[in-house]
Amino acid sequence: MKCFPDRLDATLARGLAPIYVVAGPELLLVEESCDAIRRKAREEQIVERVVLEADARFKWTELSSTGESLSLFATRRLVEVRLPTGKPGSKGGTALREWAESGSDDVLLLKCQAWDFKSENAVWFKALDKHGVFVPCWTIKPHQLPQWIERRLAARGLSADQEASRFLADRLEGNLLAAAQEVERLALVYNRGTELDIKSLRAAVADSARFDSFRLTELTLTGKAGAAVRCIRGLAETDTPLPMVVFALSKELQLIESLHVLTPRMSHGQAFDKLKVWKNRQQPLSQAASRLGPAIVRQALVRLSDLDIQSKSDQKHAFWLNLERLCVGLALNDAERLAA
């Protein structure tokens, strides 16, 4: 049965299904859907959770042996299989199909980050779907984001007119995680029942400098040069503390530099464990490390050191201009621009 994320709570209220497949490229929706299923499992007194990381070294016999083993507490378990690629292969497909047909008392949660429509025609997926719930987490399209924001605000007891929701959607450049964080912040600022208009939103977002500093880092490292420049100019207009901006960018670049050092000697997973990087940040950092070579990262850190000195002086105008050059150079992966 297919159930979209915004309908999952209502579906869970009717009881827990034996199998859930949560899959799609929108990581926020994937994580929130999995969290909702875990909460429901706890409500139904499922206290034991088994997590299997189905990476390239994973042996699918582990899933079978998990299903055959007894619970430590002689109760139902939540068996969570994390399959980042969304493709289990022939052995994995067989193991998943056998689980679906076994009638296990345990609840299976299959979490996939990569997904495409072809996967829904696979024999193993059809077996899981027949006995459980499929939660597709597709990317919210730009024209859908204002309505998504309105629903999110309504769930927090707030409302917004169309102009206000479009303003938020445009400002957040289609980033769902950023939109969710902004809604949570607004829920802290305003009382339940408040109707937000464009004027109140403009006043509220002017005080979100800390969030925007990290937003700038995200835009820069994902190659969105134009959006990064607009974000910088917004930070300048709101008198954001300059060292805060330098800190946010340098922290991520230092992590990427560490990844470059560690990954020739160990897997990405081991490197992230060593660096203590949260799961939801690993994929974007890995992509940025693949896109930006060690030389350009070192060059950017040198430039950031210069910016740090400017941030503590009276050279504010020069700081923002040099920050634009730095972020555009990184976004475009252009060493010459970075050195200009």
DSSP for 257-285 reads HHHHHHTTTS-HHHHHHHHT--HHHHHHH
- CA dist., res. 170 & res. 164, Å (int): 10
- Give the pLDDT confidence score for residue 327 in this predicted structure: 94
pLDDT at 285 over 80: yes
- Give the pLDDT confidence score for residue 298 in this predicted structure: 93
- The amino acid at residue 136 is P
- Give the pLDDT confidence score for residue 310 in this predicted structure: 86
205 closest CA partner among 172, 161, 158: 172
CA distances from 254 to 94, 121, 246, 312, 334 (A): 42, 43, 12, 21, 19
Instruction: Name the residue with higher pLDDT: 213 or 220.
Output: 220
pLDDT at 183 over 90: no
Considering the domain 142-207 in this protein, what is its CATH number? 1.10.8.60
Neighbours of 49 (CB within 10 A): 14
- List the chain domain ranges: 5-136, 142-207, 213-339
- Give the pLDDT confidence score for residue 209 in this predicted structure: 46
pLDDT, tens digit, 9 for 90 and up, residues 7-23: 999 999 999 999 999 99
Q: List 112's β-bridge partners, or say none.
A: 23
- Give the pLDDT confidence score for residue 113 in this predicted structure: 85
Mean pLDDT, rounded, for 16-33: 93
- Give the pLDDT confidence score for residue 205 in this predicted structure: 65
pLDDT at 57 over 50: yes
Instruction: Name the residue with higher pLDDT: 316 or 285.
Output: 285
Average pLDDT over the chain reads 87
CB under 8 Å to 269, separation ≥6 — which residues? 53, 55
Q: Are 145 and 33 in contact (CB under 8 A)?
A: no
Q: List 50's β-bridge partners, or say none.
A: 79
CB under 8 Å to 193, separation ≥6 — which residues? 157, 158
CA distances from 31 to 44, 230, 302 (A): 20, 29, 36
- Residues in the chain, how many? 340
Residue 266 zone, left/alpha/beta (φ > 0; ψ -120 to 50; rest): beta
Residue 322's Cβ-side half-sphere holds a number of Cα atoms within 13 Å equal to 20
- Give the pLDDT confidence score for residue 210 in this predicted structure: 45
240 closest CA partner among 328, 326, 320: 320
pLDDT band per the 50, 70, 90 thresholds, residue 68: low
Q: List 196's β-bridge partners, or say none.
A: 160
Considering the domain 213-339 in this protein, what is its CATH number? 1.20.272.10
Q: pTM, whole model, 2 decimals?
A: 0.61
Q: Are 144 and 13 in contact (CB under 8 A)?
A: no
- Give the pLDDT confidence score for residue 272 in this predicted structure: 86
Q: What percent of the chain has pLDDT over 70?
A: 93
pLDDT at 181 over 70: yes
CATH class of 5-136: alpha beta
- Give the pLDDT confidence score for residue 69 in this predicted structure: 64
pLDDT at 47 over 90: no
CA distances from 166 to 128, 180, 214 (A): 38, 15, 22
- CA dist., res. 231 & res. 72, Å (int): 52
Q: Are 9 and 37 in contact (CB under 8 A)?
A: no
Mean pLDDT, rounded, for 236-245: 78
- CA dist., res. 178 & res. 152, Å (int): 12
Q: What percent of the chain has pLDDT over 90?
A: 42
**DSSP 3-state assignment of 177?**
helix
Q: Are 23 and 86 in contact (CB under 8 A)?
A: yes
E strand residue ranges, 152-284:
159-160, 195-196
pLDDT at 317 over 70: yes
pLDDT band per the 50, 70, 90 thresholds, residue 73: low
Mean pLDDT, rounded, for 164-188: 80
Q: Are 129 and 1 in contact (CB under 8 A)?
A: yes
Q: Are 107 and 19 in contact (CB under 8 A)?
A: yes
Mean pLDDT, rounded, for 277-302: 88
- Give the pLDDT confidence score for residue 79 in this predicted structure: 93
